[in-house]
Every structure is written in C-alpha cells, then in structure tokens.
Amino acid sequence: MSEAALIGLGSNLADPQRQLSIAVLGLARLGVVVGRSSLYQSTPLGGPPGQPDYLNAVVALLPTCSEPEQLLAGLLALEREQGRVRCQPSAARTIDLDLLCWGSRVVVSETLLLPHPRMMQRAFVLAPLCELCPAWRHPVSGVSACASLAGLTEQGWVKTDLPWLT
C-alpha cells in the first residue's frame, strides 16, 4: 500500500455506521479501495460539549486522479453529498473525510498539507491506521504511527465489533 492514499473517516451523526459505509461506496468512485480498518469508537476531541461519540476508520485508496488537490476536492464533494455542514470547528458531523497521506508525498500548499498536520496527535486516526498499515511511518519525521499511538494514553478510543454495512 505504499502508493495508496490513506483516508481518515469519522461520523457522529445520522447513524455513523451507515455514514461510514456510504462514504466507502463514494470513495470507490474516486479510485480502488484496497483496504479498510475496523470501526473504532472515540470520544470527541475538542468542539462543543455534549457531542455523541464518533465512529472512525481508515481506508486505503488507489486514486484514479494524479494530484492530491484533485483527490481532496473529491473528498469534499463526497462530504457535501452526505450532508456535511461546516458550521464550527470540531462540531458534530455526518461525515468527515481527511486525506491523511498519499504514499510518501509531502505537499505544502494553500489548500492542502500532506501528511495531515495533526494526524500523529489523534488516537482516533492512529488506532485504525496501525491496524490497517502497522509498519506505516511518517514520511518527514520517520516516526511510526504505532509508536505515536502508544504515547496518546489520555484519548478515549476502542475497536468495535461493528461490521461495515457494504
């Protein structure tokens, strides 16, 4: 999966298990889904109080486009299709699709930073990433996702037994 794009998925509204499954169907329109983690439950990190827990996952995708900005545009379009409304940072959402990385590419532009700038501090990203790609290392720092996850003891997450609906 060295040239795969890794996409972080999250939802805590409108039947999150269904939302993540619908998102995978949408991702298949942007390329070939070559792997997906289990579903993980996590407590909200930041944002307004009182939000429901999230379901999270990571999907590996071989995109049909060649540019990361094109893939990002496709992800944002899928979010809109699933009713994502961006009203305030870290608010509850039907779906969140984050382009975490694409192979070893490093991108710094006005619209995109790759690898995702906060992925190594988020257990809800690292736990499913470690399941899907246990040997993954950050292309700039060289730090493994699993080593970073081991240092994040205060963020609540658990691997669920929930199945993908697709």
Q: Which 8-state DSSP code applies to residue 159? A: E
Closest CA to 133 of 4, 21, 42: 4
Query: Tokens 């988020």 — which residue?
Result: 122
d(CA 97, CA 84): 10
What residues does 55 pair with on adjacent strands? 11, 41
The residues carrying an active-site annotation are 84, 93, 96, 98
Cα angle 142-124-11, degrees, rounded to a multiple of 5: 135
For residues 30 and 71, is the Cβ–Cβ distance under 8 A? yes
